[in-house]
């Protein structure tokens, strides 16, 4: 990210001081303002793109979670809609350990 010193410096220019500047100084100042505006626009576009990407990622995660929940519910349901229970789906093949 580029430094914010230049735009802050440009924003703090006293309008009265512009009256005493030469044409060349004013042209350089205008050039600096245009450059700072372009840099700000580029950064804003970058931030907006990142925001949109995060939004799309969140939507994809929500869809994935919904799919996983649906799959888990289907796994728990036995034939004719009866629940198999957690022991059948998670404890299959595991032996009971007694200490």
96 phi and psi angles, rounded to 5 deg: -70, 130
Q: Number of folded domains in the chain?
A: 1
Is residue 9 a part of any domain in this protein? no
67 phi and psi angles, rounded to 5 deg: -65, -45
pLDDT value at position 7? 81
pLDDT value at position 84? 55
pLDDT value at position 91? 46
Q: How far is CA 42 from the centre of its chain?
A: 17
Is residue 73 a part of any domain in this protein? no
Q: Average pLDDT by consecutive 10-residue portion of the chain (99 residues)?
A: 74 89 94 94 97 98 96 80 52 49
pLDDT value at position 34? 94
Q: Which domain holds residue 61?
A: 19-67
């Amino acid at each position: 990210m580029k430094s914010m010193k230049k735009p802050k410096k440009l924003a703090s220019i006293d309008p009265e001081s512009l009256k005493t500047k030469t044409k060349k100084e004013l042209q350089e100042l205008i050039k600096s303002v245009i450059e700072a505006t372009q840099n700000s626009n580029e950064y804003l576009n970058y931030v907006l793109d990142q925001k949109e990407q995060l939004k799309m990622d969140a939507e994809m995660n929500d869809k994935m979670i919904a799919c996983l929940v649906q799959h888990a519910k289907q796994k728990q349901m036995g034939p004719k809609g009866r629940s198999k229970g957690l022991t059948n789906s998670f404890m299959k093949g595991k032996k009971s350990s007694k200490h």
